[in-house]
Structure 1
Amino acid sequence: MAKILCIDDEPILRLITSDYLGDMGHEVLEASSGAEGLTLFRRYRPDIVLSDLRMPDGDGFLVVTHLAEEAPETPVVIISGTGTLDDAVKTMRLGAWDYLSKPLKDMPLLGQTVERMLNKARERRNASQYLLNLESRVNELEHELQSWSSSHKDTVLRLEAALKTSIGSLNLALREKDPYTAGHNERVARISVDIGIALGLGEQEQEVLMLAGLLHDIGKIGVPESILNKRIALSPDELEEIRSHVTCGYRILCNIPFDGPVAELVLQHHERYDGSGYPKGLAGEGILLEARILAVADVYEALCSDRPYRAGLNPVDAASYVFKNAGTHFCPKCVDAFRQIIF
């Protein structure tokens, strides 16, 4: 059973919604305006909020804006009979999780939407807790390593080995969660190092590239399996979940004392040379060279691999894609080095 806050200035609509959701076993709180709804939310902390868009004394935009800041983990569904397409897009950008149109003639649709949003919120909480546990363990190992480093060399070596084992365990956990990426990280690492050698990088830079290649998708641990293994096109929300893996990976790795910018390379490996990538829209030389190398290796290897939604390309066609996108998606000099090692 969930606690649901229904915000609507029409009493009859609140009554119909409350009766239906109550029959499903949920507890329903009612508010007649955005301002009243926010007050009830802060007092009772419901699991999900259903809000009308046009209301006196605080509209749905107010509700979405405040809750996106105060409780981003709480689903907010806008239900409106007067909103336009632009309004719907605006509410989603502000932080709404879904948008339904009135009149709600199909009440089961409302029930299904509520259950879907509750499940989505639960998946996000579980993923966040899992990441917190992983980050806590990595931080513990780092703290132990730093505490003993000055006077216990043998202990430091053992702790470094334990840290590498933990990183290997993270990679194994990702392989178990997303079998379609099994071997992908290793192949990306090898291709990246080969490109780095062609570009004249030294042994330390090659080691950094190897580690970043092995760990570049580690943030996918925080992405629900239902999205990772989906066999049809992703929705905009699901695409954002996938894209979050770079920042998630950075959070996992940023406090580990690597001998190089491994965490930064993981964060930047989906940036594009023309600035159209993510998460920061970096461009050109503003992207670390090793991250530009990773981008080439990652896309080429992904194109060659079978995925849930498509079969892999042959290596010639995959390489042709990389060549054609030099200067837009990829750094030209990295593509030139890739050309030297691939054929």
Structure 2
Amino acid sequence: MVVDDEKLLCRMLGRLLTKNGYGFIAANSVEEAKEHLEREEIDLVLCDVNMPGVSGIELASHIKSHYMDTAILMLTAIDDPGTAEDAIDAGVYGYMVKPVKPSEVIINVRNALRMRDLEIANRRYLQNLENMVQCRSGQLRKAMEGIIRAMSLTVESRDPYTSGHQHRVSGLAGAIAVRMGLPGDQVQGTRLAAMIHDLGKISVPAEILSKPSRLSNIEFSLIKVHPEVGYNILSAVEFPWPIATIVKQHHERIDGSGYPLGLSKNEILVEARIISVADVVEAMVSHRPYRPALGIEKAIEEISNGSGRLYDPEVTKACLSLIGKGDFSFSALEELQP
């Protein structure tokens, strides 16, 4: 469904969608859009931000709370990072600035529908897991671990440049947790949270994830919401570990300079403090579309310089001990990857 008070634009978008094999409904106001939503099952809503009366962002919030299986894309004539962040907070899957190319519209529609399918599948997985809790506690834990690994592969399949990133972060994070002397169950929770710490990136268009140049302010604002998106997906199920909260906090820094909440010191779970260090180390030693691998020495320099300011000093100490004594290497971890 296309929602825009400009009837000509609605017709143009409708022709474009029909030409590419999509069914199409037009609504020229938020009220009309809500009537369609009540009567029909709609896969995707493409909505203008600035609408008479109720705004497109308010419509997006309404859809997110009442029609979880409906994806939302936003159109606007104003290139404003604040508006983009409001739209993402309201639950939109993508944000386009007018004028838009036909190819850009179709790419965003396809990506939004793919992400919608993934979220529906994830909700079904999580619901199935909840149904098992009462009678299969042991089997439930194994199933959860399997779903977490499946989710991890789903995220990384969208971005070939970072394939294996979460697996490697998980390996290092688990080793750090062991070196710090954490209990076995907490070590396992750390490993599994690290395995899906970037789950929220399913809400970020693949073109942004693999962009070989500097991100714009809007693109970076889309990237920065991935911890909260991951939290929203994972909080729907009661894991034996605080997986959702760990995922939400993995970009926090102990001096309060991180995101999304600006937490500091012990406000951040120790598992998240561990993953933040492992994430930085892995990212620096690996190739990225916008730069070559920087190497382990640069990674050691980064976490050493940031110890006590950005990174938990106990976590940093454990990580440096593992690397310095040769008790951990990413190459050895790769040999063990299934």
TM-score (norm 1): 0.71
Alignment partner, residue 147 of structure 1: 134
Larger radius of gyration: 1
**For each residue in 1:24-79, what CA deviation from the matched residue of structure 2 results, as whole angstroms up to 9, or x when unmatched?**
79999898xxxxx5555556787333759xxxxx68xx635644544572523236
**For each residue in 1:122-180, what CA deviation from the matched residue of structure 2 results, as whole angstroms up to 9, or x when unmatched?**
52343133112112122213312x2324xxxxxx5445444433333223333433333
The whole-number CA distance in structure 1 between the counterparts of 2:59 and 2:161 is 36
The whole-number CA distance in structure 1 between the counterparts of 2:146 and 2:114 is 24
**For each residue in 1:302-321, what CA deviation from the matched residue of structure 2 results, as whole angstroms up to 9, or x when unmatched?**
11001111111111111101
What is the correspondence of 1:219-230 to structure 2 with a 5 Å cutoff?
219-230=200-211
The whole-number CA distance in structure 1 between the counterparts of 2:10 and 2:166 is 50
Does 1:300 find its partner at 2:281?
yes
One-letter amino acid of the counterpart of residue 209, structure 1: T
Unaligned runs of 5+ in 2: 19-23, 38-44, 65-71, 89-94, 325-338
SS at match of 1:147: coil
Distance 1:215 1:19, change over 3 A: closer
Distance 1:259 1:38, change over 3 A: closer
Report the CA distance between 1:91 and its aligned residue.
Answer: 4.7
Distance 1:230 1:257, change over 3 A: same
**For each residue in 1:230-279, what CA deviation from the matched residue of structure 2 results, as whole angstroms up to 9, or x when unmatched?**
22222333323333332333344335554432332122111111222222
One-letter amino acid of the counterpart of residue 199, structure 1: M
Alignment partner, residue 48 of structure 1: 47
**For each residue in 1:297-337, what CA deviation from the matched residue of structure 2 results, as whole angstroms up to 9, or x when unmatched?**
11011110011111111111111011122233212332233
Alignment partner, residue 126 of structure 2: 138
One-letter amino acid of the counterpart of residue 333, structure 1: E
Match of 1:123 among 90, 104, 111: 111
One-letter amino acid of the counterpart of residue 264, structure 2: A
Distance 1:4 1:69, change over 3 A: closer
**For each residue in 1:278-299, what CA deviation from the matched residue of structure 2 results, as whole angstroms up to 9, or x when unmatched?**
2222111100112111111110
TM-score (norm 2): 0.72
- Count of aligned pairs: 299
SS at match of 1:126: helix
The question of whether the paired residues in 1 share the 8 Å contact of 2:3 and 2:33 is answered with no
Does 1:173 find its partner at 2:154?
yes
What is the correspondence of 1:318-329 to structure 2 with a 5 Å cutoff?
318-329=299-310
The whole-number CA distance in structure 1 between the counterparts of 2:86 and 2:229 is 22
Distance 1:333 1:135, change over 3 A: same
One-letter amino acid of the counterpart of residue 74, structure 2: P
Alignment partner, residue 232 of structure 1: 213
The question of whether the paired residues in 1 share the 8 Å contact of 2:256 and 2:262 is answered with yes
Does 1:273 find its partner at 2:260?
no
Alignment partner, residue 77 of structure 2: 78
Distance 1:50 1:65, change over 3 A: closer
The whole-number CA distance in structure 2 between the counterparts of 1:185 and 1:21 is 38
SS at match of 2:299: helix
Does 1:245 find its partner at 2:226?
yes
SS at match of 1:312: coil
The question of whether the paired residues in 1 share the 8 Å contact of 2:201 and 2:226 is answered with yes
Alignment partner, residue 63 of structure 1: 55
The whole-number CA distance in structure 1 between the counterparts of 2:55 and 2:315 is 48
The whole-number CA distance in structure 1 between the counterparts of 2:151 and 2:11 is 47
Distance 1:289 1:314, change over 3 A: same
One-letter amino acid of the counterpart of residue 138, structure 1: L
Aligned-residue RMSD, C-alpha:
3.7
Alignment partner, residue 335 of structure 1: 316
The whole-number CA distance in structure 2 between the counterparts of 1:127 and 1:249 is 13
The whole-number CA distance in structure 1 between the counterparts of 2:184 and 2:225 is 31
Unaligned runs of 5+ in 1: 8-13, 32-36, 53-57, 80-84, 101-109, 150-155
Does 1:210 find its partner at 2:191?
yes
- The higher relative CO (CA closer than 8 Å, separation ≥ 6) is in 2
Match of 2:176 among 195, 217, 231: 195
Structure 1 vs Structure 2: percent identity of aligned residues? Answer: 29
